[in-house]
Structure 1
Amino acid sequence: MIRLLLADDQALVRGALAALLGLERDLEVVAEVGRGDEVVDAVGAARPDVVLLDVEMPGLDGISVAERLRAAHPEVRVLMVTTFGRPGYLRRAIDAGASGFVVKDTPARELADAVRRVHLGLRVIDPALATESLTTGASPLTAREREVLAAAAGGATVAVLARRLHLSEGTVRNHLSAAIGKTGTSTRAEAVRQAERLGWL
């Protein structure tokens, strides 16, 4: 029996996944959580073999959760199951230690097979997303550029961003300018939108 933990902030989606996967004779859902910051403790308590993680959750995003699971519970396999099939998310999730990445409209039988394959130590990636990821390439943003661009998403001024990030205003402008150039956009708002669309933030 393969023990599963489901982490998704949408109760309806979580319940549907639990019901579908529970129909499989070799799969058992042993825990469900609705927040990213609850996953590591829940894994410690429930001891699942595979964790199905959404990318966007309150408390902590799924990619950050995958990193923490790799450190705290390296024996547990992670399968990202998300609505947001963005190529940047895929690359970041794999780098964080996820063994698989599928989208939520994957047929139930294929999802169950993905769980089994991940449990065996294989890598499972949505084919369309894998193709798009190869075409798009890796994020060109540095960690600092990503941090500054993410902070700029709320529309704060350079002065406010500089104080918040403990950087000089000139450094913030340089990072924003670099991010705008690397995303092929004209403004920081466009750069934020493009980076979010590609899963780079």
Structure 2
Amino acid sequence: MRILLAEDQAMVRGALAALLSLETDYQIDQACDGDQAVAQLQQQQYDLLLTDIEMPGLTGIELAQWCQQHAPATKVVVLTTFGRAGYIKRAIDLGVGGFLLKDAPSDSLIQAINQVMQGKRVIDPELAISAMGEQDPLNDKERKALRLASDGKTTAEIAQTLFIAEGTVRNYLSEAIAKLHATNRIDAARIAKQKGWL
């Protein structure tokens, strides 16, 4: 079985790869961020993507979305420090096979991978219950614009990155600010991050 491990923290990535190599006979390839993961997924067929959520480039949720559209045979397990309801809800909606916290015991990770490969879904019950809470009010375009704004990008830079007009960016950000009852784009990004919607 071939696994792609996408994790931006080198020490965590190395430790997970070593653990999986020692405990299983899986072949483990590594990606240091979401963009590198997509490049590798385009060149190689993987049985499973094991991904962090918060990474430079594409997030783990965006990677799961990419797999759903371009590599549907690749199963996805999200491994994260953040058990935020918004993340879990979005992951479940995308058909992610597993959602585990990084502080879970190593044998439960391997067990979860095996169960996901058998077509089962593995989500910590408490996390699943919390995901049934609030609905994410943001659409994909608003989320992308807000995420770039939270990285300190100007309206012009966001427009250039997303290949849209500056007026459209302002509209997306205004909508996001209104939906989140925020005072400005920074406040909106903070609220969205806290809820796991960004």
1:192 aligns with 2:193: no
Maintained 8 Å contact 1:53/1:80:
yes
Could you tell me which residue of structure 2 aligns to residue 153 of structure 1? 150
With over 3 angstroms needed to count, the CA separation of the structure-2 counterparts of 1:154 and 1:28, relative to structure 1, is: closer
Structure 1 residues 30-59: Cα deviation after superposition (integer angstroms, max 9, x where no partner)? 311212222244345554321101112233
Q: Which shows bigger deviation, 177-186 or 110-119?
A: 177-186
TM-score (norm 2): 0.80
Written as runs of structure 1 = structure 2, the 5 A alignment for 1:1-201 is 2-25=1-24, 27-43=25-41, 47-135=45-133, 137-153=134-150, 160=156, 165-168=164-167, 172=170, 175-201=172-198
- How far apart, CA to CA, are the structure 2 residues paired with 1:60 and 1:142? 16
5+ residue gaps, structure 1: none
Aligned residues: 195
1:64 to 1:148, Cα distance in 2 relative to 1, 3 A: closer
**TM-align CA RMSD:** 2.8
Which stretches in structure 2 are left out of the alignment for 5+ residues?
none
**Inter-CA distance 44–109: structure 2 relative to 1 (3 Å threshold):** same
CA distance in 2 between counterparts of 1:32 and 1:60 reads 15
Amino acid at match of 1:11: A
Distance 1:15 1:88, change over 3 A: same
- Supply the distance in 2 between the matched residues of 1:147 and 1:40 (Cα, whole angstroms): 17
Structure with max Cα Rg: 1
User: Identity of paired residues, percent?
Assistant: 43
- The residue identity in structure 2 corresponding to 1:198 is K
Relative to the length of structure 1, the TM-score reads 0.79
Per the TM alignment, residue 196 of structure 1 is displaced from its structure 2 partner at its CA by 1.0
Query: Whole-Å Cα distance in 2 between the matches of residues 77 and 90 of structure 1?
Result: 16
- Report SS of the residue matched to 1:78: strand
Q: Matched residue of 1:23: which SS?
A: helix
What amino acid is the match of 1:199? G
Distance 1:157 1:18, change over 3 A: closer
Deviations 1:124-174 (A, max 9, x none): 112332222212x2201233433443344356777x5896551438x83x6
How much does 1:119 deviate?
A: 0.6
How far apart, in 2, do the equivalents of 1:68 and 1:144 lie? 15
- Output the amino acid matched with 1:8: E
Separation of aligned partners in 2, 1:152 and 1:44: 28
